[in-house]
Structure 1
Amino acid sequence: MAESTSNLTDLFDTVWKSWETCETTEEPSNSYTVQKCLLVGLTSGEKAIRMINDLCLFSDNEDLDEVPSSELKYLLLPAFMGYFMQRRTVKDPMDREEIAKKSIVYLKDFLRNCESYGIAKINQKLLEDEESGKENQQISVPGPPGLQNQIRTREEKIKCFKEKKELDARIKELHEHMQKDHVDDEVKRDYYTSLLKQWVNSSIEDVESLQVELEMLKMRRNAIDDPKEEETQQPKPKAPIRPFIITKDMIQKSVFGAGYPSIPTVTIEEFFEQKVKEGSIQMPGPSGHSMQDWAANPEKDKEDREKEEEEKERKIEEDDPETLQKARNWDDWKDDHRRGWGNRQNMG
C-alpha cells in the first residue's frame, strides 16, 4: 500500500510539472515541446486515475472532512486531464470533435466530484449528458433570445469575479507556505481546497466554451455528410445581365391610365424652347439682368440698369429703328395682356 501511494505521488508530481510547463512556456501551443508535455501529462494522469480507482481512495458516501489532507490533491486529476486534452492538436479538423468530447467528459467528472464533496455548487444543466441535455432542450419553453444560455446573471458574474481575485490571492499566499520544509496539515488542507475551488471556476468556463465549439463542429460535419445541404449552401449561377432600355413610348403605355401620376412627356429645356417659339417667354438679351446678378452685386446691377435706361432713351431720341420697333411691340403686348388677367380658371 505504501509503495502504491508512493508511485501515485510520483505520477501526480509528473502531472503537476507538465501543467506548470505548459502554463509557463512561451512556445506556441502546437509546438513539439508543448504537445509532448501534454502527452506526458495525459499518460501519467491516466495511470494515476486507474491507480486511484484500484485503491478506492474516494467514495460518494464520504464527506470532504473524511478525506486525508495529503489525498485532496488527487481530486484535481480529472481537471488536469481535461486541461491537457483540450489543448491537443490534430491534423484532421474532424478529429477535433472527439478531442472536445473527451475534454468535456474529464471536466464534468471533476465538477461532479467537487459537488459531491460539497466543494462548490454546480449548475445541474452544465453537468447533464449530451443526450439528456437535448431532451430537456426540446421540452423546455424557449425564453428571450440570448438569455437562455446565460446561466449566471450579471450580479453573479461580478460576485464570482471578486471571489476569484480573493481566491487567487489566497492561493498565492498559501503556496509560499507550501514551499517550507515543514507544512502544517491545516495549511496543506486549505491550500488544496482553494486549488479545487479555483479549478472549478476555470473548468466551468472551459466546459461552456467546449460545448459551443462542439456544436459548431457537428454543424460542419453534418454539412459535409449531407450533400443536399451542401448544394443549398453553394451559390447558384447568376443569369447574364442584359441591357434594359426603356423608351418614352413604353413608359407612357405602361403608366398612363394605370392609376399612377402622369410623367412628363417633354424635358424642361424642350418646354422652354416651345414657349419661346410661341412668344409667351422672351429670351433675355446679353445685357439682361437676373436675381443672381442683383444678389452678387446690387450696386453694380443698379448702375447697369441706369446705363441701359439712358442708352434706351438716347436711341429713342435718335429714332433708332430697332429700339422703336421693340417699344411698339411691348406697348401692343401690354394692350392685349392687361395686368392681372393671367390664368383665372376656377376663380369664379
Structure 2
Amino acid sequence: MAEGEVGQGAERLPDLFESIWKAWEFLETTQEDTNSYTVQKQAIKGLADGEKAIRMINDLTLFSINESIGEVSTTELRYMLVPALMGYFIQKRVTKDRLQLVRTGKAYYEDFLRQCKTYKVAKVSVHIEDDEETSDNRVLPSGPPGMMKMISERESKIQAFKEQKELDARLADLKKYVDQEHVDEEVKRDYYITLLKKWVNIACEDLSGINFEIQMLEVREDSMSEAGARKTEYEKKKPPPMRPFIITKDMIQKQVFGLGYPSIPTLTIEEFYEQKLKDGTFQPPMAGHSMQDWAADPEKDKEDREKEEEEKENKTEADDPEELQKARNWDEWKDEHRRGWGNRQNMG
C-alpha cells in the first residue's frame, strides 16, 4: 500500500505532515501574543491535521512494539513526531478548562516518549506513567533525599542543555543537505533520528512544567469545590429573608399607611421597639423613656436622659438607700442573665 493511501479522500499523510510542520514553524517563530487570533488559528489547524495524521498512522500500522528503529523506513521516521507536535499545539491553546487541556498535552507527550523509548531512539530522563522500568539508572551520591533530588535534577538539566546545543548544531548542518533535490538516504535518516532526539528533550522539559501545573490546577479545583460546598451548606442553613414592613411614627400614620399597603405589616415605632425587646435585639429603655419620646423630640429626650443620669450619679455619691437598692437589684439580675442570652439575631 502506498504511503498515506488509507481512504482519506484527497488527503495524503505526507501532505498532512507538511501542513503540521508548517504550523509548528509559524508558532515557533511568530512574535504575536498567544491569545491572538492568528496563533490560535494555527494551533487549532495543527491539532486538526494531527488527529487526521494519527488516524492514518494507526490504520497503516506504521509502528510496532516488535520492531527496532532500524526496521522503520526513512520516510516514516518523521511520523513518529506527530504525538509530540500534538502536545506542543495543545500547550498553545487557550481555553477555560485549562486542567483538561494540560492533561491531554501530557498524554500526547508521554505517548511520544514511550514510543521513542521502545525504539531506543534516545534516553528518556523522565518518569512515564504505567512504565515499570525506571528511566534513569544513574547512581546518585549519598545524602538526604531532598539533596539527592536537587543534585539529580541539576545534572539532568545541565546534560539536557548540552545535548540540545549539540543536536541543534547537527540539525543545522544536516538541513543543508536534506533541502537539496538529491540527498543521500543515510543523511536523511540521520537528520530524522537527530530530530527525534531533539524532541525527546523538548518533551521531557515540557512534561516537567506540565506536571507542576497540573498539581497547582488540581489544588485550585479542590479549593473551588470546597468553597462551593461551603456556600451550598450556608444557603441551606441561613435564615429566611426578613419580610418587609412599614414603621410609622404613631397610630394615626399606621392607620393611613396600613390602608395603602394591606399586604405589608405596619408597625408604630413603639410596637417595633417592643418586638425587638422580646427577641432580645434591643435592651430595655430607661424608666420613663420610650421610642415614642425619642421620635417626637430627639433633642429633648437626650436632655432628659442626661439630667436623669446626673441625678442618679448624685444620689449614688450621697449613698441614697433607694438608688443603692436599685444598683444591687441590677447586679443580681446581670448575674442570673448572661449578656446575649436573649439575642437570637445572628443565630442560624
- 1:224–1:230 contact (8 Å) kept in structure 2: no
Name the stretch that deviates more: 164-173 or 74-83.
164-173
- 1:11–1:45 contact (8 Å) kept in structure 2: yes
Q: Which residue of 2 aligns with 1:218?
A: 218
- Secondary structure at 2:4 match in 1: helix
- Secondary structure at 1:12 match in 2: helix
Q: Which residue of 1 aligns with 2:54?
A: 49
Equivalences for residues 326-345 of structure 1 within 5 A: none
- Of 14, 20, 37 in structure 1, the residue corresponding to residue 25 of structure 2 is 20
Question: Cα offset for 1:105?
Answer: 0.1
Q: Which residue of 1 aligns with 2:162?
A: 162
Equivalences for residues 1-348 of structure 1 within 5 A: 1-2=1-2, 4-5=4-5, 7-90=12-95, 92=96, 95-123=97-125, 126-129=127-130, 144-145=145-146, 147-148=148-149, 150=150, 152-227=152-227
Question: Cα offset for 1:174?
Answer: 0.7
Cα distance per residue 1:253-291 (max 9 Å; x no partner): xxxxxxxxxxxxxxxxxxxxxxxxxxxxxxxxxxxxxxx
CA distance in 2, matches of 1:41, 1:114: 22
Cα distance per residue 1:168-222 (max 9 Å; x no partner): 1000111111110011100110000000000000100101100100000000010
CA distance in 2, matches of 1:153, 1:98: 27
- 1:29–1:35 contact (8 Å) kept in structure 2: yes
Question: Given residue 70 of structure 2, which amino acid in structure 1 is its aligned partner?
Answer: D
Question: Cα offset for 1:121?
Answer: 2.0
Q: Kindly tell me: are residues 187 and 65 of structure 1, through their superposed partners in 2, closer, same or farther at Cα, counting changes over 3 Å?
A: same
Question: Given residue 126 of structure 1, which amino acid in structure 2 is its aligned partner?
Answer: H
Question: Cα offset for 1:144?
Answer: 3.6
Question: Cα offset for 1:154?
Answer: 3.3
Q: Normalising by structure 2, what TM-score?
A: 0.58
Q: Kindly tell me: are residues 151 and 49 of structure 1, through their superposed partners in 2, closer, same or farther at Cα, counting changes over 3 Å?
A: farther
CA distance in 2, matches of 1:220, 1:33: 30
CA distance in 1, matches of 2:183, 2:151: 39
Greater radius of gyration (CA): 1
Q: Normalising by structure 1, what TM-score?
A: 0.58
- Secondary structure at 2:33 match in 1: coil
Name the stretch that deviates more: 198-207 or 21-30.
21-30
Question: Given residue 180 of structure 1, which amino acid in structure 2 is its aligned partner?
Answer: Q
Question: Given residue 183 of structure 1, which amino acid in structure 2 is its aligned partner?
Answer: V
CA distance in 1, matches of 2:83, 2:204: 13
CA distance in 1, matches of 2:151, 2:15: 39
CA RMSD of aligned residues (A): 2.5
Structure number with greater CO (CA < 8 Å, separation at least 6) is: 1
CA distance in 1, matches of 2:34, 2:86: 16
Runs of 4+ in structure 1 over 4 Å off: 228-231
